[in-house]
């Protein structure tokens, strides 16, 4: 957002206020000044001149001009601009004058013609070319003034007349202060800061109301009802002016330069430029139409096509009047022959308009305001500025009452705040009177009710909703620098036992001990990616209103995709063997907050070349880590099941993956990436574990009882069994130890597969069983009795024992 001193001076008396003070004021009020430029110091005084005869110089793009600069004789000047023509009023730099580009002018001969000075383009006097249209970059600047320009010929006031002797601030706006996209909000802030009155010119104008009504309305269908926040129409009668010459509407140079200072390129159309000016001043986009060109009622529709998934348009009789925020069809704009002007005020859903902006990949004055959460009642301000500017151009005759097609549903906010609460948060004791004086010109209504203050904020401020916002506003206006810094009082207190935090720290130390690296990843992904990797099937994700990129627009619902991106990035940098983990929270719009843990291994988990030891990443290695983490929460692993996740996305291996369940509750997922996806991400064999730590904490066994250690000799029995690919190891173990006594430990000790077993898709699994008793030494007969139960259970399952 940009501010210019000349524009501010029309509304605030800045006589005794320097530019540096305004910069300090803006920064103090929370509006960070990104840049400042004083254009009044760039050039010497330049003249207003009038172009007479223009003759092309043969064989060149140059023109030989005779220019009237208010002296008895005209001056010859060679000009290369494509738009120079007879009758123009121009900015003339005579010999001896110094201009912004560092050039000191002198009389010189060009192509055999003497040139006594230069007709100036805007870039030559110091304006950045980015503010110019393509046409203007090859133009000299033609002067258009409200007063009689002919009488000014020869005056060294050219830069003053076109509004160039100005100072410009570029101000960074945060999303919560989107209301300041209407520059009039800055006027309130600065007038309040400098204790000045606001000279609102529109308050001194007597607007003439007529009995006319709009010949058309705006149809808003049900599917558009949530997109259109408010809609209003107003009809303006055009003043009938008799002129001798050709009638033409042109933007005055001082307003044109002001638009350029606001980084708004000219559209080369009076009505579009005027609409941009009003939108910058008020924050309300405006559409000017000729009602005589509208054959049926207007309608707002989302006309999707093959190029645009979102295409919000204003339609009349199947013709596009305006692609909202993008462009307006010039065929429907008023002309010099228009008797009436229809003014359309629309407020649209910011999230939807952000999509419109992405589809058209453009940024216009209107789109910048449609996309931000500004008030939907700004038409009440905009109508005054519309009539004021139409009157300045001698167009305004009278206006109809504004017709509300759809009323804004915004309500006047009322916030009750105790004075004590303000004192507590600010650390400064302000009286009610002192607080009221802080809001002199900010359109806040403040009333006192006992020990409570009732605030009715500026109706165009959408960022104030509760007491903390009021305290922040009071502190901002009071001045952050005026609040003394006081060191906090730190009182010793007994520490509460936070078991979940201790267990998390314990597991972090465990992972760090295994050589894992703790990472922190970005919480935002694309909407498509969030939906694809929603492993835990969480609904209602959080979408940003104004994301900076389509790749970062939605809060993630799992950590998996983020940790994969990190591994892929490391691989691209030559770090191919990675072991990563991350603890982070998952949120949604239903106030859900879950703590998740993601663990990733890729490449070699151990690679000791000196000892010739290499261990590749594997499902078994990661499964062991999962078991250890669940064990730390005292969860009975025999009750935990690992089932194939049938809903896994295509990027996950269809067979090497499992959903981790405990009594029907999903605790997490463990899986290998699909080889094709690994290849696309340039990863070696990669395995990932993601646990819902919040769910794990909810089912943990917090009651831990000390178990007596047996002082007697333990006895072990080993068995090797043949398991097919259909057999599930955990389920088999669970069934074969059913009703077996004195069993203290079951341990997998070996997995073997030879060529013969491979042919039948089977493996030999060796398991060790440990028996003991805390009361007495078990005899061989007692152990054998229990061992026979194990073998009998294996027999029932028809599992071959080797």
Q: Structural domains in the chain?
A: 46-156 (2.40.50.140), 200-406 (3.50.40.10), 415-478 (3.30.56.10), 499-699 (3.30.930.10), 715-796 (3.30.70.380)
* Residue 729 pLDDT: 84
Confidence of residue 269 (pLDDT cuts 50, 70, 90): very high
What is the distance between the alpha carbons of residues 144 and 717, in angstroms, rounded to a whole number?
103
pLDDT at residue 240 is higher than 90: no
CB of 67 within 8 A of CB of 74?
Answer: yes
- Phi then psi for residue 231, to 5 deg, are -150, 135
Label residue 431 exposed, middle or buried (CB < 10 Å: 0-12, 13-18, 19+).
Answer: exposed
E strand or H helix at 505, and its extent? Answer: helix 499-513
What average pLDDT does range 351-360 have in this prediction?
Answer: 92
pLDDT in tens, 697-729: 999 987 777 778 889 999 999 999 999 988 888
pLDDT at 494: 63
Q: Give the sheet arrangement for strand 2-4, strand by strand.
A: 2-4, 167-172, 32-38
Q: DSSP 3-state assignment of 433?
A: helix
What is the average pLDDT across 350-362?
Answer: 92
Using an 8 Å Cβ cutoff, are 545 and 351 in contact? Answer: yes
Residues 6+ apart with CB under 8 A from 715: 770, 771, 772, 778, 780, 783
Q: Which residues are annotated as a binding site?
A: 463, 469, 472-473
CA distance 368 to 357: 9
Average pLDDT over residues 8-35: 94
pLDDT of residue 203: 61
C-alpha–C-alpha distance, residues 617 and 627, integer Å: 16
pLDDT tens sequence across 598-628: 999 999 998 888 888 888 999 999 999 999 9
Judged by average pLDDT, the poorest of 344-348, 390-394, 452-456, 798-802 is: 798-802
DSSP letter (8 states) at residue 571: H
Mean pLDDT score, 454-476? 92
- Listing DSSP states for 717-728 in one string gives EEEEEEEETT--
pLDDT band at 354 (very low <50, low <70, confident <90, very high): very high
DSSP 43: S
HEC string of 376-420 equals CCCHHHHHHHHHHHHHHCCCEEEECCCEEEECCCCCCCCEEEEHH
- Cα–Cα distance measured from residue 214 to residue 287, given in angstroms and rounded to the nearest whole number: 14
Write down the pLDDT at residue 521: 95
Look at residue 497 and tell me whether its pLDDT is greater than 80. Answer: no
Burial-class residue 190 by CB neighbours within 10 Å (0-12, 13-18, 19+): buried
DSSP 552: B
Identify whether the C-beta of residue 156 lies closer than 8 Å to the C-beta of residue 26. Answer: no
pLDDT of residue 201: 61
Residue tagged 């005054």 (tokens): 384
Question: Residue 273 has which token pair?
Answer: 């430029």
User: Which residue reads 């080993």 in tokens?
Assistant: 718
**pLDDT, tens digit (0-9, with 9 covering 90-100), for 174-201:** 888 999 999 999 999 999 999 999 987 6
Are the C-beta atoms of 577 and 607 separated by less than 8 Å?
A: yes
Say if residue 280's pLDDT is above 80.
yes
Given a cut of 90, whether residue 103 has pLDDT beyond it is: no
Burial profile 101-116: b = 16 or more Cβ within 10 angstroms, e = fewer:
eeeebeeeeeeebebb
Are the beta carbons of 169 and 22 closer than 8 angstroms?
yes
pLDDT in tens, 723-753: 998 888 888 988 999 899 999 989 989 988 8
- Count Cβ atoms below 10 Å from residue 209 Cβ, excluding itself: 10
Q: Tokens 């939605």, residue?
A: 554
Residue 211: band (very low, low, confident or very high) from pLDDT cuts 50, 70, 90: confident
pLDDT of residue 49 exceeding 90, the answer is yes
CA neighbor of 390 nearest in space, from 243, 265, 278: 278
A 10 A CB-CB count for 730 gives: 12
Residue 382 near residue 341 (C-beta atoms within 8 A): no
In degrees, rounded to 5, the angle at the alpha carbon of residue 708 between the alpha carbons of residues 705 and 711 is: 170
Query: Which tens digit of pLDDT belongs to each residue from 69-100?
Result: 999 899 999 999 999 999 999 999 999 999 99
Rounded-to-integer distance, Cα 673 and Cα 686, Å = 6
pLDDT at 496: 64
**Region 42-60: what's the mean pLDDT?**
94
Given a cut of 80, whether residue 483 has pLDDT beyond it is yes
688 near 564, Cβ under 8 Å? yes
Statement: residue 204 has pLDDT above 70: no
Distance CA(157)–CA(253), nearest Å, equals 13
pLDDT at residue 339 is higher than 70: yes
Biggest CA pair distance of the chain = 134
User: CB within 8 A of 625, min separation 6: which ones?
Assistant: 511, 514, 599, 689
CB atoms within 10 A of CB 256: 22
Question: What is the DSSP secondary-structure string of 260-325?
Answer: HHTT----S-HHHHHHHHHHHHHS--EEEE-GGG--S-EEEEE---SS-S--EEEEETTEEEEETT
pLDDT bucket at 245, cuts 50 / 70 / 90: low
Instruction: Identify the pLDDT of residue 347.
Output: 95
Q: What is the pLDDT of residues 754-778, one digit of tens each?
A: 988 888 889 999 999 999 998 999 9
Q: In whole angstroms, what is the distance from residue 540 CA to residue 538 CA?
A: 7
Annotated binding site for Mg(2+): 463, 469, 472-473
- Residue 513 reports pLDDT greater than 80: yes
Instruction: Provide the CA 688 distance to its chain's centre, in angstroms.
Output: 31
261-299 core/surface letters (b: 16 or more CB in 10 A; e: else):
bbebbbbeebbbbbbbbbbbbbbbbbbbbbbebbeeebb
pTM, rounded to two decimals? 0.68
DSSP state of 427: S
Which residue in this structure is represented by tokens 């960074």? Answer: 172
Mean pLDDT of the chain: 92
Phi, psi of 651, rounded to the nearest 5 degrees: -75, -5
Cβ-based neighbour number of residue 224 at 10 Å: 20
**Residues 6 or more apart in contact with residue 431 via CB below 8 angstroms:** none
457 contacts 415 by C-beta, under 8 angstroms? yes
Distance CA 783, CA 790 (A): 11
Residue with tokens 């009333």: 447
Task: Classify the phi-psi angles of 141: left when phi > 0, otherwise alpha if psi is within -120 to 50, otherwise beta.
Answer: beta
């Amino acid at each position: 957002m940009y501010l210019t001193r000349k524009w501010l001076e029309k509304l605030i008396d800045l006589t005794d206020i320097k530019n540096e003070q305004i910069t300090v004021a803006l920064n103090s009020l929370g509006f960070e000044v990104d840049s400042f430029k004083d254009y009044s110091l760039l050039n010497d005084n330049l003249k207003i001149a009038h172009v007479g005869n223009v003759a092309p110089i043969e064989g060149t793009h140059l023109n030989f001009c005779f220019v009237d600069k208010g002296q008895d004789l005209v001056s010859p000047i060679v000009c290369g601009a494509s738009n120079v023509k007879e009758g123009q009023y121009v900015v003339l730099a005579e010999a001896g004058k110094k201009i912004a580009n560092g050039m000191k002018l002198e009389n010189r001969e060009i192509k055999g013609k003497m040139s006594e000075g230069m007709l100036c383009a805007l870039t030559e006097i110091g304006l950045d070319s980015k503010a110019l249209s393509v046409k203007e970059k090859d133009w000299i600047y033609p002067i258009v003034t409200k007063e009689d320009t002919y009488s000014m010929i020869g005056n060294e006031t050219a830069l003053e007349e076109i509004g160039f002797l100005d100072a410009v601030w570029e101000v960074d706006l945060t999303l919560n202060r989107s209301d300041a996209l209407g520059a009039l909000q800055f006027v309130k802030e600065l007038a309040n800061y400098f204790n000045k009155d606001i000279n609102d010119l529109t308050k001194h104008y007597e607007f003439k109301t007529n009995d006319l009504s709009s010949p058309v309305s705006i149809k808003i269908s049900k599917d558009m009802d949530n997109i259109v926040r408010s809609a209003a129409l107003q009809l303006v009668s055009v003043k009938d002016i008799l002129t001798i010459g050709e009638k033409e509407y042109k933007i005055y140079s001082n307003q044109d330069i002001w638009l350029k200072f606001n980084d708004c390129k000219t559209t080369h159309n009076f009505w579009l430029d005027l609409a941009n000016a009003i939108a910058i001043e008020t924050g309300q986009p405006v559409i000017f139409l000729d009602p005589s060109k509208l054959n049926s009622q207007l309608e707002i529709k989302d006309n999707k096509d093959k190029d645009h998934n979102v295409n919000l348009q204003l339609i009349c009789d199947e013709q596009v009047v305006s692609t909202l925020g993008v462009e307006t069809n010039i065929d429907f704009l008023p002309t010099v022959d228009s008797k009436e002007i229809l003014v359309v005020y629309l407020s649209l859903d910011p999230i939807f308009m952000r999509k419109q902006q992405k589809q058209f990949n453009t940024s216009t004055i209107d789109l910048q305001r449609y996309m931000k959460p500004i008030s939907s009642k700004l038409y009440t301000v905009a109508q005054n500025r519309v009539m004021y500017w139409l009157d300045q151009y001698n167009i305004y005759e009278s206006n109809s009452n504004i017709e509300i097609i759809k009323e804004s549903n915004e309500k006047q906010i009322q916030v009750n705040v105790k004075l004590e609460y303000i004192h507590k948060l600010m650390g400064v004791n302000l009286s009610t009177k002192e607080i009221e004086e802080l809001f002199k010109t900010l359109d806040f209504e403040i009333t006192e009710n006992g020990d409570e203050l009732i605030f009715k904020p500026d109706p165009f401020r959408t960022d104030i909703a509760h007491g903390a916002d009021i305290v922040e506003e009071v502190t901002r206006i009071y001045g952050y620098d005026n609040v003394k810094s006081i060191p906090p009082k730190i009182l010793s207190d007994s520490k509460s036992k936070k078991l979940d935090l201790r267990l998390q720290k314990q597991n972090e130390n465990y992972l760090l001990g295994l050589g894992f690296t703790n990472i922190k990843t970005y919480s935002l992904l694309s909407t498509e990616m969030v939906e694809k990797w929603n492993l835990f099937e969480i609904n209602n994700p959080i979408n940003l209103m104004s994301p900076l990129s389509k790749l970062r627009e939605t809060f993630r619902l799992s950590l998996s995709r983020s940790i994969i991106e990190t591994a892929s990035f490391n691989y691209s940098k030559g770090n191919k063997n990675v072991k990563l983990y991350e603890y982070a929270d998952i949120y949604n719009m239903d106030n859900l907050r879950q703590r998740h843990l993601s663990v990733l291994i890729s490449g070699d988990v151990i690679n000791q070349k000196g000892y010739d030891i290499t261990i590749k990443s594997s499902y078994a290695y990661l499964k062991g880590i999962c078991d250890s983490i669940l064990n730390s929460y005292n969860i009975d692993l025999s009750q935990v099941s690992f089932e194939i996740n049938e809903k896994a996305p295509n990027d996950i291996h269809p067979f090497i993956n499992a959903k981790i369940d405990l009594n029907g509750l999903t605790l997490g997922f463990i899986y290998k990436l699909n080889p094709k996806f690994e290849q696309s991400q340039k990863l070696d064999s990669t395995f990932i574990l993601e646990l819902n730590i919040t769910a794990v904490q909810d089912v943990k066994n917090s009651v831990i009882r000390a178990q007596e250690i047996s002082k007697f000799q333990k006895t072990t029995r080993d068995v090797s069994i043949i398991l097919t690919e259909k057999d599930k190891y955990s389920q088999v173990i669970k069934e074969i130890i059913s009703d077996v006594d004195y069993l203290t430990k079951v341990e997998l000790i070996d997995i073997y597969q030879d060529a013969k077993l491979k042919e039948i898709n089977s493996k030999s699994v060796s398991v060790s069983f440990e028996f003991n008793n805390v009361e007495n030494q078990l005899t061989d007969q007692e152990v054998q009795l229990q061992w026979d139960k194990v073998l009998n259970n294996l027999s029932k399952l028809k599992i071959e024992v080797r």
